[in-house]
């Protein structure tokens, strides 16, 4: 399958607690354009691809999205490290604390839980690839919005890395779509 290296794709070393930023970043953990949704979507869609090229790309990007879940989780834990219950409440994270303590729960920044309805599959591999291109663009835009909300270089570094990966994923999906469209034209 694949070998798991016990290190993040990009180092996350946040030194300053920022609970408001943690709440914002939570959306990339369990929100509709978040990393968990992308991972499930791509890993599910891979079985509908017409050949190994498509299955391999969706497997590669889907598992990379799981690595991004790890990065987001590390960011959240570091941004919330040492926070008191009062600080969590003041930042709007009291509901999360009441139910899950200091554990993370996949939700968006409004506290809405992760929902499998975020996963887009159609049974049409071209439609699914184009949906994935849209998903990558929405994730890129979300990272740009998150970057607008902070000036902390320790937070901006990982967010910038994740944003760039969304651009690369979009390009890979576009290449795959174009390849399949050319194959259809030949037939």
**Looking at the domain that runs over 19-186, which CATH code has it been given?**
1.20.1260.10
Average pLDDT over residues 164-185: 97
Strand partners, 113: 107
pLDDT band at 187 (very low <50, low <70, confident <90, very high): confident
Helix (H, G, I), strand (E, B) or coil at 131: helix
Please state, in angstroms and as integers, the Cα–Cα distance from residue 21 to each residue in 99, 121, 145, following that order.
20, 32, 11
Query: Which of helix, strand or coil describes residue 187?
Result: coil
Share of the chain above pLDDT 70, in %: 99
The answer on pLDDT for 128 being more than 90 is: yes
Dihedral in degrees, nearest 10, Cα atoms 173, 177, 178, 183: 140
Is 1's pLDDT higher than 60? no
pLDDT value of residue 31: 94
pTM of the model: 0.94
**CA–CA separation, 183 vs 151, rounded Å?**
46
Query: Which pLDDT score, from 0 to 100, does residue 3 have?
Result: 73
Mean pLDDT within 142-154: 98
The residue among 77, 35, 71, 51 whose CA lies nearest residue 180 is: 51
* pLDDT for res 5: 75
Instruction: Say which residue the tokens 């194959």 belong to.
Output: 183
Instruction: Record the tokens describing residue 75, joined without a space.
Output: 């960011």
pLDDT of residue 181: 96
Any idea where the domains of the chain sit in the sequence? Answer: 19-186
Region at 108 (left for phi over 0; alpha for psi -120 to 50; beta for the rest): beta
Provide the CB-side half-sphere exposure for 37 (13 A, CA).
28
**CA pair distance 77, 60, nearest whole angstrom:** 26
Nearest-10 Cα torsion for 13, 15, 18, 23:
20
pLDDT tens by residue, 28-51: 999 999 999 999 999 999 999 999
Alpha-carbon span 152 to 2, nearest angstrom: 34
pLDDT of residue 4: 73
Pick from 144, 141, 149: nearest CA to 170: 141
- For 82, list phi and psi in degrees, rounded to 5: 80, 5
Tell me: the pLDDT tens digits for 66-114?
999 999 999 999 999 999 999 999 999 999 899 999 998 999 999 899 9
Tell me: pLDDT of 12 over 90.
yes
pLDDT over threshold 70, residue 2: no
């Amino acid at each position: 399958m694949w070998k798991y290296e016990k290190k993040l794709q990009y180092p996350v070393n946040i030194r300053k607690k920022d609970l408001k930023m943690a709440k914002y970043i939570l959306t990339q953990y369990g929100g509709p354009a978040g990393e968990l949704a992308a991972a499930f979507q791509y890993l599910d869609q891979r079985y509908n691809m017409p050949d190994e090229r498509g299955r391999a790309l969706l497997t590669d990007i889907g598992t990379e999205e799981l690595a991004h879940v790890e990065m987001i989780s590390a960011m959240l834990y570091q941004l919330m490290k040492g926070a008191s219950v009062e600080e969590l409440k003041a930042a709007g994270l009291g509901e999360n604390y009441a139910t899950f303590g200091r554990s993370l729960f996949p939700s968006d920044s409004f506290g809405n839980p992760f929902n499998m309805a975020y996963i887009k599959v159609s049974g049409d591999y071209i439609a699914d690839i184009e949906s994935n291109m849209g998903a990558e663009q929405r994730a890129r835009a979300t990272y740009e919005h998150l970057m607008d909300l902070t000036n902390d270089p320790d937070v901006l570094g990982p967010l910038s890395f994740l944003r760039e990966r969304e651009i690369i994923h979009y390009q890979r999906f576009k290449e795959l779509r174009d390849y399949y469209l050319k194959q259809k034209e030949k037939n």
